[in-house]
Amino acid sequence: MNRNQMSKNVFSLEGKLALVTGGGTGIGLGIAQAFVKAGAQVVITGRREYVLQQAVEQLGNNTVYVVNDITDKEAIPSLVAEIEQNVGAINILVNNAGIHHKAMAQDTSDEDFERVIQTNLLSVFSLTRECAKYMLERKSGSIIMIGSMAGLFGIDRVVAYGSSKTALTGLVNALVTEYSTSNVRVNAIAPGWIESKMFINAINNDPERKAQITNRIAMDHFGQPEDIGHAAVFLSSEAARYITGVVLPVDGGATVNF
Ligand code: NDP
């Protein structure tokens, strides 16, 4: 082993390009921030241009944004092709964009269910398949799905959301059987309660509800978007080169404490 190999930082993402969907807010922004700190160049997407503009100002020079609605199936091939041609080869894909729908099963319409599945599952598959076309050819890549604790356990009033997140585990499992020989790794992160707009909205910013939830977290406090970012950096780095097919809970022990 020479000196360079010995001093190589296996957690560095220097020279890598990451695509983070929904990277303008909350967990996506936390992931983008952690990637930039680890040396990666980052492309963030979302539907609202002003949100993405603000995020890029915050993230600095090594980031660009593309306005994109992930449910627009027709736009996915050109989104990926344009990034590949104009920015660079996508080494890391983080499927973070997602929506929540809170309602009892009996009050959830087919349309509500379809909308959640469209954003949180079908779009994830379409974008993953498109990015993987390039990654499989290059025989290198890391794909991360942002799942949820709600996909691991039965939780009331999240029938559509929980179903979409559980299905991501099936997607990870299936893709691992097909992509691994091409050195494309596929993993998921299952965040617990992370302080973001989605979380605050989901509990109606209710202090009593916040206190109840805190009691269910073994570490006794909520997570922050950067906690998910650090896990995503690890899973995308050389340090995780032999890790594929895992669903990693990042939840302060909430799932163990459930
Ligand atoms: P936010 O609501 O802050 O972020 C969601 C992001 O997704 C936004 O940037 C939004 O941007 C983007 N998005 C939503 N729909 C689309 C779409 N159709 N096309 C493109 N972008 C879209 O919530 P979080 O940061 O909390 O959530 C991020 C991920 O983490 C989600 O997948 C969520 O399920 C997951 N998660 C969150 C937890 C939490 O406690 N916060 C817990 C477990 C999982 P825009 O509206 O501009 O399009």
pLDDT of residue 258: 78
Q: Measured in angstroms, how far is the CA atom of residue 19 from the centroid of ligand 1?
A: 15
Label the pairing between strands 41-46 and 92-95: unpaired
Residue with CA closest to ligand 1 atom 12: 22
CB 38 within 8 A of CB 12: yes
Tokens of 36: 């930039």
pLDDT of residue 63: 98
Q: Measured in angstroms, how far is the CA atom of residue 4 from the centroid of ligand 1?
A: 39
Tokens of 234: 């690890």
First to last CA, the chain: 46
pLDDT of residue 93: 99
Q: Which residue has the tokens 């983070």?
A: 20
CB 48 within 8 A of CB 59: no
Cα angle vertex 128, ends 18, 251, to 5°?
A: 70
Digit-by-digit pLDDT tens for the chain (258 residues) are 555 556 789 999 999 999 999 999 999 999 999 999 999 999 999 999 999 999 999 999 999 999 999 999 999 999 999 999 999 999 999 999 999 999 999 999 999 999 999 999 999 999 999 999 999 999 999 999 999 999 999 999 999 999 999 999 999 999 999 999 999 999 999 999 999 888 888 888 888 988 999 999 999 999 999 999 999 999 999 999 999 999 999 999 999 987
Q: Which amino acids are annotated catalytic?
A: 161
Q: Which residue has the tokens 């190999």?
A: 5
Please tell me the distance from the alpha carbon of residue 157 to that of residue 159, in angstroms, as a whole number.
6
Partners of 248 in the beta sheet? 189
Partners of 145 in the beta sheet? 95, 188
Tell me the torsion sign for CA atoms 192, 253, 166, 28.
positive
* Burial bucket for residue 257 (CB in 10 Å: 0-12, 13-18, 19+): middle
pLDDT of residue 3: 58
The interface predicted TM-score of the complex, written ipTM, equals 0.99
Among left, alpha and beta (phi > 0; psi -120 to 50; other), residue 64 is: beta
Q: Measured in angstroms, how far is the CA atom of residue 99 from the centroid of ligand 1?
A: 6
pLDDT of residue 30: 98
Please tell me the distance from the alpha carbon of residue 233 to that of residue 138, in angstroms, as a whole number.
21
SS (H, E, C) 6-51: HHCCCCCCCCCEEEEECCCCHHHHHHHHHHHHCCCEEEEEECCHHH
E strands in the chain: 17-21, 41-46, 63-67, 92-95, 141-146, 184-191, 247-250
pLDDT of residue 132: 99
Domains of the chain: 13-250 (3.40.50.720)
Residue with CA closest to ligand 1 atom 29: 96
Of residues 142, 148, 231, 134, the one with CA closest to residue 193: 148
Please tell me the distance from the alpha carbon of residue 10 to that of residue 26, in angstroms, as a whole number.
27
Partners of 94 in the beta sheet? 20, 144
Residues with CB under 6 A from ligand 1: 21-22, 24-28, 45-48, 51, 69-71, 96-99, 119, 146, 148, 191, 193-194, 196-199
pLDDT of residue 121: 98
